[in-house]
Amino acid sequence: MNKADAAELSQTKRMGRILVLLEKTYPEAQCSLDYQTPFQLLVATILSAQCTDKRVNQVTPELFSRFQTIQAVAAARISEVERIIRSTGFYKNKAKAIVGAAKKLIADHGGGVPKTLEELVKLPGVGRKTANVVLGNAFGVPGLVVDTHVGRLCRRMGFTKFQDPEKVEAAMEKIVPRSKWSEFSHLLIFHGRESCSARRPLCKECCVSRYCPKVGVIAAHSPKEEE
């Protein structure tokens, strides 16, 4: 298939072909945060804001072993949580959010993690991104996560022009099958890491190159590379 053929595909069909190729390339794509329970995933996702999953996975073993239940987190001294999570950045806000979320889960949800987006986003430190991570990975409820990397790839691939993650999420929900919402985010995050980084997209060897208009990155490549 040449580029002209790819351009004629509907957005939904083009997305379908891209997903097939990404699934083949990244069969291991899944949530890279370590967790055992929905609450631990909620905490790890709060910690992952402006931080790599790798770094989060370095601090959560101590955090989860020191505070083993939601009740223990709710009763924790903020300074103790801050000390453990310090290296993830923004640790004061994150510690406050984690302890605050645990308290609210006890007060409003009987000490459990709710399974709806509407309830999750009412917890301190939890936005749509975090809520969708928890829904998709801990509960198997389709959740389309749009972080910086997913947003960048959706724009480069010509599926949206929006910068606002919520608008990107709504646009993608129209062209990605609902059953693949959670997987979609993992695949794009893996692809962003391996091929389509912010600074240096490797279009020449990219597995979806033939279906990608490379919006905003063409100038970074030589004309020869684009042939």
Binding mask 181-210 for ligand SF4 (x = CB under 6 A): --------------xx----xxx--x-xx-
**Shortest distance in whole angstroms from residue 3 CB to ligand SF4:** 11
Letter for the amino acid at 54? K
Both tokens of 192, joined, read 């962003």
CA atoms 189, 193, 196, 199: torsion sign: positive
The CB-side HSE value for 175 (13 A sphere, CA atoms) comes to: 20
The answer to whether 129 is a known catalytic residue is yes
Report the distance separating Cα 1 and Cα 216, nearest Å. Answer: 23
Closer of 83 and 204 to ligand SF4 (Cβ): 204
**Shortest distance in whole angstroms from residue 89 CB to ligand SF4:** 27
Contact call for residues 33 and 56 (beta carbons, < 8 A) = yes
Q: Does 21 bind ligand SF4 (CB under 6 A)?
A: no
The answer to whether 164 is a known catalytic residue is no
Residues 124-163, interacting with ligand SF4 (CB under 6 A): 156-157
CA atoms 186, 38, 174, 160: torsion sign: negative
Of 115, 122, 147, 167, which residue is the catalytic one?
147
Q: Does 217 bind ligand SF4 (CB under 6 A)?
A: yes
Q: Does 214 bind ligand SF4 (CB under 6 A)?
A: yes
Question: Tokens 């957005």 belong to which residue?
Answer: 11
- Give the residues lining the site for ligand SF4 (CB under 6 A): 156-157, 195-196, 201-203, 206, 208-209, 212, 214, 217
Supply the residues annotated as catalytic. Answer: 129, 147
